[in-house]
Amino acid sequence: MGEKPVPGFVEELRREFPQVEFREAATPADKLREIQDADVYYGWIPRDVFLAAKKLQWVQIPGTGIDHVLSTVPELVDSDVVLVNSRGPHANPIADHVMGMVVALSHQFRRLSEDQKAHRWDGAAYFERFLELSGGTMGIVALGDIGSAVARRAVGFGMRVLAVDKKPVRPPQGVEAVWPVEKLDDMLRQSDWVVVTAPYTKETKALLDRRRIGLMKSGAFLIAVSRGDIVDEAPLVDALKSGRLRGAGLDVTAVEPLPDSSPLWDMENVIISPHVSAYTPGTFSGRREIFKENLRRALANRPFLYVCDKKAGF
């Protein structure tokens, strides 16, 4: 067990799986000691712990993105150890967060909040300043679990929805089209809202670079909730400062925590959250349920849920 301890979880596992021996490992020394005989590791495995393992068969990451563990433990990629993530429970809360940012930006909730703090009632300041979502176009970069959940909500708001994805995907109900990544430029030109839900890989690093940010519609918005390095922040800042992009919602940034010196902090047209969009009780309990289900599957010699492609990076 390599995740932050959850009170009662190990006891719960021991009751439910009496045939399995569970050991908690909270400190680096604990992890190095306990990994010697471990078949399974649940948590974010450090490189020295992975290299010290002798019997390890599978690692379950209690999250969605696997880029960090693959970059810090490169030996994992070519090993026989199965890597599993816990992506299912994240989709709905992250999609809710996306739509919260969309509504907050379109109706200037940040400015409204400042007015409330100042006890300022100034309706004239907002005259014709809000945007209707219905009839607008949302473009989603990657239509996986999170992207699909965002699409469902956007359709519910009456938006036209486009998407690009690396894999051929049949458009879900209400989604106009799912194009290959080669048509990303076309999607950017048409979208009032661009939502980044793609995993971070070699192919997606700086996918939205200066050229592509330059292709976005004048007055468009960018929302990023998967990984910050997918968006080149310098041209994003330039586009926001110039007003060519109307706003951005960022739950992820290239460097985390976002440095104090970043101009993004002080931009009135930017909403920042500290990589917390999935932080609901259901997400964390869902991660643990996936681990338990995969234990059942391992004991029954059945395929795991959410096996990752270590070479593809997701």
- Among all residues, which ones are annotated catalytic? 275
Tell me the three state secondary structure of residue 184: helix
How far, in Å, are 19, 155, 235, 251 from residue 248 at the CA level?
50, 20, 13, 10
Q: Are 196 and 141 a contacting pair, CB within 8 Å?
A: yes
First to last CA, the chain: 22
b (16+ CB within 10 A) / e for 49-88 = bbebbeebebbbbbbbbbbebbeebeebeeeebbbbbbbb
Q: What is the 3-state secondary structure (H, E, C) of 214-242?
A: HHCCCCEEEEECCCHHHECHHHHHHHHHH
Among 157, 55, 50, 152, residue whose Cα is nearest residue 103: 157
Cα–Cα dist 188/227, whole Å? 18
